[in-house]
């Protein structure tokens, strides 16, 4: 008799994620003790040795709630009990830059990067689910930040270390059932019920309202949409990267004539790539900046320049679009 269906679903997701990693390497799971990451830890502990991997786990103590040290110790004991070795906790100091959610995320990734480096991990697994993906798409839609934002979270990405999200096709109900079947008791973070956080309001109010108005399956549809848009965005980015290289005209310039011939979806990507390459910070380079640079091409009326974040300036001169430091 096989495992409970929820356990089997999570294990299959982990198995597929491991197929893309070098056999014999070490894989870490980032485990908060919540149902999603706990189910992921249990599945990794089962699958890794059967696939030739060394599996460990790490939990991050953000120090933002009373009892966080004791809670981190319980998560470590749970990971050890699952057979994850090494398993440990890392305490971080969360600053205030960019708001509490962003500050906590930055501190968390810095700690995970250091743990991956210190332990020689080929990858760190994260427990984001299909529900998280749906919330991310809705947040991107509300910001109006374009197709890349609507494409949601990637399955794999590099951010100082290699990260993999095996559970993006698995919902939260499944991870909670998997924990129950594996005898694991998840911790419910009170921050996940705090309406002060935008994501919590999306989870508790926006998505249920959409389900009520449109019928069930909205979260699944949003996640499917994200996957399709990610394929489209990846293809456009690849096209834009080739165009950016082909249109280079000198060390800091692009051919205006060549840019004008590109479809807007590709051209604006080329402009963003060129601006970032010239030194504009990607985190502060917004769509409004790129739109103004695009007007130097499509609505040229002798404008002098466009100022960009990072002390950069876009200038149209002698058939070139130049990105120069001020």
Q: Do the domain assignments include residue 118?
A: yes
Q: H-helix or E-strand containing 91?
A: strand 87-91
When pLDDT is averaged across residues 132-159 and rounded to a whole number, the result is 87
Q: Do the domain assignments include residue 20?
A: yes
Give the other-Cβ count within 10 Å of 320's Cβ: 18
- Burial environment of residue 120 by CB neighbours within 10 A (0 to 12, 13 to 18, 19 or more): exposed
Does 208 lie in the same domain as 62?
yes
Residue 98: the pLDDT is 63
Q: Residue 12: pLDDT above 90?
A: yes
- Output the CA–CA distances (angstroms, integers) from residue 324 to 86, 129, 310, in the order listed: 49, 42, 11
Does 251 lie in the same domain as 206?
no
Does 161 lie in the same domain as 24?
yes
Does 303 lie in the same domain as 178?
no
Summarised one tens digit per residue, pLDDT across range 189-246 is 777 777 877 888 999 999 999 999 999 999 999 999 999 999 999 999 999 999 999 9
Summarised one tens digit per residue, pLDDT across range 274-311 is 999 999 988 788 888 999 999 999 998 888 899 999 99
When pLDDT is averaged across residues 62-69 and rounded to a whole number, the result is 80
Residues pairing with 56 in the sheet: 28
Query: Which structural domain, as residue segments, surrounds residue 304?
Result: 247-325
Q: Last residue of some domain: 172, 189, 214?
A: 214
186: which residues sit within 8 A by CB, 6+ positions away?
33, 34, 35, 38, 176, 179
- Burial environment of residue 36 by CB neighbours within 10 A (0 to 12, 13 to 18, 19 or more): buried
Does 277 lie in the same domain as 208?
no
Summarised one tens digit per residue, pLDDT across range 244-266 is 999 987 777 899 999 999 999 99
CATH classification of the domain holding 20:
3.40.50.620
Does 276 lie in the same domain as 203?
no
Q: Residue 132: pLDDT above 70?
A: yes
CATH classification of the domain holding 290:
3.30.465.60
Does 168 lie in the same domain as 99?
yes
Does 187 lie in the same domain as 295?
no
Does 310 lie in the same domain as 201?
no
**Lookup: tokens for 324:** 């120069």
Q: How confident is the model at residue 145 (pLDDT cuts 50, 70, 90)?
A: low
Q: How confident is the model at residue 32 (pLDDT cuts 50, 70, 90)?
A: very high
CB–CB of 197/101 below 8 Å?
yes
Q: What percent of the chain has pLDDT over 90?
A: 73
- How many domains in the chain? 2
Q: Last residue of some domain: 214, 239, 274?
A: 214
Does 161 lie in the same domain as 38?
yes
Summarised one tens digit per residue, pLDDT across range 82-113 is 999 999 999 988 877 667 777 888 889 999 99
Q: Against a cut of 0.75, is the pTM above it?
A: yes
């Amino acid at each position: 008799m096989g495992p409970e269906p929820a356990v089997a679903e999570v294990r299959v997701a982990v198995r597929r994620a491991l197929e893309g990693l070098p056999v014999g390497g070490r894989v870490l799971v980032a485990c908060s003790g919540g149902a999603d990451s706990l189910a992921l830890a249990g599945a990794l502990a089962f699958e890794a040795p059967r696939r030739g991997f060394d599996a460990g786990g790490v939990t991050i103590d953000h120090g933002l709630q009373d009892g966080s040290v004791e809670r981190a110790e319980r998560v470590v004991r749970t990971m050890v009990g699952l057979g994850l070795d090494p398993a440990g906790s890392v305490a971080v100091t969360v600053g205030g830059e960019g708001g509490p959610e962003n500050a906590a995320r930055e501190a968390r990734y810095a700690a995970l990067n250091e743990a991956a480096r210190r332990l020689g991990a080929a990858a760190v697994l994260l427990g984001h689910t299909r529900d998280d993906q749906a919330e991310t798409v809705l947040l991107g839609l509300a910001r109006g930040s374009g197709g890349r934002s609507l494409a949601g979270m990637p399955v794999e990405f590099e951010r100082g270390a290699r990260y993999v999200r095996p559970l993006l096709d698995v919902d939260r109900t499944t991870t909670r059932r998997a924990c129950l079947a594996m005898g694991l008791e998840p911790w419910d973070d009170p921050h996940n019920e705090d309406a002060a956080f935008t994501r919590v309001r999306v989870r508790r109010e926006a998505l249920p309202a959409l389900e009520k108005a449109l019928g069930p399956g909205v979260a699944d549809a949003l996640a499917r949409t994200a996957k399709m848009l990610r394929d489209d965005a990846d293809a456009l980015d690849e096209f834009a990267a080739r165009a950016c290289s082909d249109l280079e005209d000198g060390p800091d310039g692009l051919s205006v004539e060549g840019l004008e011939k590109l479809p807007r979806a590709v051209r604006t990507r080329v402009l963003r790539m060129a601006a970032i390459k010239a030194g504009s910070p990607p985190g502060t380079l917004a769509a409004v900046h790129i739109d103004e640079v695009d007007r130097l091409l499509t609505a040229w009326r002798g404008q002098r320049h466009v100022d960009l974040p990072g002390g950069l300036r876009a200038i149209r001169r002698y058939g070139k679009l130049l990105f120069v430091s001020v």
